[in-house]
Amino acid sequence: MQFTKMHGIGNDFIIIDGFRQQISEPSTLAKRLCDRRFGVGADGLILALPSDRADARMRIFNADGTEPEMCGNGIRCLGKFLYDNGICRRESMTIETLAGVLALEIEAEGGAARRLTVDMGAPIFDPAKIPVDAANNRVTLDAAERRVGFFCVSMGNPHAVTFDLYPQDDEFHRLGALLERHPLFPRRANIEFCRVNASGGADVRVWERGAGPTLACGTGACAVLAAGATLGLLPREADIALPGGTLRVRWDDGGHLFMTGPAQVSFTGNVE
């Protein structure tokens, strides 16, 4: 089976061409291939599949085998994969996900996609749709031996964002694992710990649902901008700095969030 290893500012994925290869039991395959000691190693497995609603369909599986609704860095990698391999050789394309059909714009150089902008849609603040088991989308949770406020938002997948806490490594790992599975989040949640930086954007550490600590999270960056702008902490367009690099996020007057960032190929290979 052929695969391509890709990453979006360090958030890495194994991409498999489902147009030409038949994939069975993708959840089991994801757990095996994503293992960084006994497999290829990645945060997730992405299948590029035909769609009757868009140019392609994305299925993504976390390293633990769970299937999330969407992934911002993953969809940029998939867009580059489709463009560079001639599956969809257009600078505007659409990709079907469990969170709906999303539009991508490609910035190409030398015949290859370099930067991609994704229309991530409108953020969802309705607690029932995020989902969060609370009366509204702002909750206070026990963390770091104190009460910490979180702003909950869905970008097609659930996020809990705080600007009240920016933990260091040991505390980050402990709290991330604990909060991801907090009883208030019936489908678990991605957790973003944030601080406003000197450039007017935000520094962010992400604990991803089903993957743990990752170098970047595209939907997380959008959730941070939506939360920060709503709380009056960030402008409606800002750089979101993650451990692996920076994403530019813009919240337009029509209510949609647009995320811009790179996607790169690490290597290609074959696996039994």
Give pLDDT, residue 13.
Answer: 98
Collapsing DSSP to helix, strand or coil, 64 comes out as coil
CA distances 31 to 1, 43, 168, Å, are 16, 10, 28
Whole-number mean pLDDT of the chain? 96
CATH at 217 = 3.10.310.10
Collapsing DSSP to helix, strand or coil, 225 comes out as helix
Grade residue 144 by pLDDT with cuts at 50, 70 and 90: confident
Residue 127 domain-assigned? no
Residue 75 domain-assigned? yes
pLDDT per residue as tens digits for the range 212-264:
999 999 999 999 999 999 999 999 999 999 999 999 999 999 999 999 999 99
Q: Which amino acid is at 228?
A: G
The domain in which residue 193 lies consists of 138-255
Asked if 55 contacts 91 with a C-beta cutoff of 8 angstroms, the reply is no
Residue 237 domain-assigned? yes
Q: Do residues 142 and 251 both lie within one domain?
A: yes
Q: Do residues 146 and 184 both lie within one domain?
A: yes
CA separation for the pair 213, 156 (Å, rounded) = 20
Q: Do residues 149 and 246 both lie within one domain?
A: yes
Q: Do residues 103 and 6 both lie within one domain?
A: yes
Active-site residues: which are they? Answer: 71, 217
Other residues' Cβ atoms within 10 Å of the Cβ of residue 54: 18
pLDDT of 43 over the 90 cut: yes
Grade residue 146 by pLDDT with cuts at 50, 70 and 90: confident
Q: Do residues 264 and 223 both lie within one domain?
A: no
Q: Do residues 71 and 7 both lie within one domain?
A: yes
Residue 88 domain-assigned? yes
Q: Do residues 49 and 100 both lie within one domain?
A: yes
Q: Do residues 110 and 199 both lie within one domain?
A: no
Rounded to 5°, the CA angle 146-147-152 comes to: 140
Grade residue 130 by pLDDT with cuts at 50, 70 and 90: very high
CA separation for the pair 62, 47 (Å, rounded) = 12
pLDDT per residue as tens digits for the range 187-216:
999 999 999 999 999 999 999 999 999 999
CA distances 270 to 5, 10, 35, 61, 250, Å, are 11, 22, 16, 19, 38
Give pLDDT, residue 170.
Answer: 93
Q: Do residues 245 and 266 both lie within one domain?
A: no
Give pLDDT, residue 272.
Answer: 85
Residue 16 domain-assigned? yes
Grade residue 145 by pLDDT with cuts at 50, 70 and 90: confident
Residue 131 domain-assigned? no
Number of structural domains the chain divides into: 2
pTM: predicted TM-score of the whole model, two decimal places = 0.93
What is the pLDDT averaged over residues 122-130?
98
Grade residue 138 by pLDDT with cuts at 50, 70 and 90: very high
